[in-house]
Amino acid sequence: MRSFEKLLQEIGSIINIPMHAEEGRICLLEINHNLRIQIEDDLVKQKIVVVCFIAEIAAGKFRENILKEALKANFFSSRIGNFAYLEKNNSLSFYTYVENTISAEEISLVLERCITVGNNWYEAIRNSQIPNITQESSQFF
């Protein structure tokens, strides 16, 4: 079985970004100065977790509407991940688990899709808009 560090190096060579594990199990990336991506080796579940931290959302009706849309998006059975609200920092995130045995190419595709989803939601939130999940669905479901 390949090490997590080796997997990150393989993914990094595919996406042309040098990657390495911090504390042996976590890799953090910043995309376009607005998205933070965490790739983590979940030893308990024997899976790789990809988390996209999308944006902080201030309390109020707008946040309620964003979270409702995120719940609707989580309902689709063909989704590649789930949205989650992190109360600690009032932020929306998108995450997915993948088998730790799949290829670096497959993981890089999942990573690309997570970045696309995260960026689309980030832009909508930044522009005080509610993401259209039916439009989004053609891109990542």
Q: Which residues of 11-26 are buried (b: 16+ CB within 10 A; e: fewer)?
A: bbebeeeebebeeeee
Q: Confirm whether 36 is domain-assigned.
A: yes
Domains of the chain: total: 1
CA angle 27, 83, 115 (to 5 degrees): 50
- Coil, helix or strand for 74? helix
The region that residue 55 occupies, defined by phi over 0 for left and psi between -120 and 50 for alpha, beta otherwise, is beta
Q: Confirm whether 110 is domain-assigned.
A: yes
Q: Confirm whether 139 is domain-assigned.
A: no
pLDDT per residue as tens digits for the range 84-97? 999 999 999 999 99
Q: Which domain holds residue 63?
A: 4-127
- Which DSSP letter does residue 59 get? S
Q: Confirm whether 86 is domain-assigned.
A: yes
Q: Confirm whether 137 is domain-assigned.
A: no
Query: pTM of the prediction?
Result: 0.87
pLDDT per residue as tens digits for the range 52-82? 999 999 999 999 999 999 999 998 756 789 9
d(CA 11, CA 92): 25
Q: Confirm whether 24 is domain-assigned.
A: yes
pLDDT per residue as tens digits for the range 13-60? 999 999 999 887 899 999 989 999 999 999 888 899 999 999 999 999
Q: Confirm whether 81 is domain-assigned.
A: yes
- The secondary structure of 88-100 as a DSSP string is GGTEEEEEEEEET
Q: Which of 20, 32, 140 is nearest to 76 (CA)?
A: 140
- Which DSSP letter does residue 85 get? E
Specify the pLDDT at position 120.
Answer: 93
Q: Confirm whether 136 is domain-assigned.
A: no
Residue owning tokens 């690309």? 112
Helix (H) or strand (E) holding 84: strand 82-86
Q: Domain holding 60: CATH number? A: 3.30.1460.10
- Ranges of H-type helices in 17-93: 61-75
